[in-house]
Amino acid sequence: MSARHFSRYFVVALLLVLLIKMLVGEPVKVASCSMLPTLKPQEWIWCDKASYGALMPRRFIETPLLNLLCFIPGVMQKDTVRDWGYRRMVGFREPERLDVVIFKRGKGNNLYIKRIIGMPGDTLRMQDGKVYVNGQALKDTGSKYSSYDVFSDIVVAPKHYFVMGDFRSNSYDSRRFGCICWEDIVGRMASD
């Protein structure tokens, strides 16, 4: 095989990998113990982006290969204020209660992994280690480690989701930072 043929195959393979990463899914490493016992720290999971519809990049830093331009100081500085706007491909399903979702918070590229507890329009409260959704105790199969936090009458806004880690007493989640927006959900855990 000549070098020219090899380079063509390499470019095609690289483009295929990038398309899969952007539109289908990618492996994500669990960073904390907040999802124990469902997910262990340092475990790899598959982030399924196609189910909800792949979230399109908003800046160079979020775009494979183009993010290499951010090593140039002037480009990185301009990229911090750039926003191409929210765009999502067509998905196959909507998020559902108890889905484990991967999402971004704020302007950083850090990914968080939590379980959807509250859907848009739900009223939530927590007492005696149990979460109540619209007055009914949640039958949450994921949670094994309860928390005795108390909150009442949180109403989930349209296009927002209330998320919690399964290790309730050791999770930084919607109880601390509020509901997450639909636009910030990158995907769902594929094997959930």
Condensed to tens digits (0 to 9), the pLDDT of residues 44-58 reads: 999 999 999 998 887
Structural domain contains residue 19: no
Range picked from 54-68, 125-139, 176-190 for highest mean pLDDT = 176-190
Structural domain contains residue 126: yes
Residue 60 near residue 67, CB atoms below 8 Å: yes
Pick the last residue of a domain from 88, 108, 141: 88
Domain that holds residue 102: 25-54+94-192
Whether residues 108 and 135 share a domain: the answer is: yes
Higher pLDDT, residue 18 or 145? 18
Tell me the pLDDT tens digit for each residue of 61-78: 777 777 777 788 888 787
- The answer, yes or no, to whether residue 116 has pLDDT greater than 80, is yes
Whether residues 45 and 109 share a domain: the answer is: yes
Whether residues 178 and 192 share a domain: the answer is: yes
Per-residue burial over 94-114, b if 16 or more Cβ lie within 10 Å, else e, is: ebeeebbbbbbeeeeeebbbb
Burial of 139 (0-12, 13-18, 19+ CB in 10 A): exposed
Structural domain contains residue 46: yes
Catalytic residues: 34, 114
Residue 180 near residue 55, CB atoms below 8 Å: no
The domain tally of the chain equals 2
Structural domain contains residue 161: yes
Q: What is the mean pLDDT of residues 141-152?
A: 70
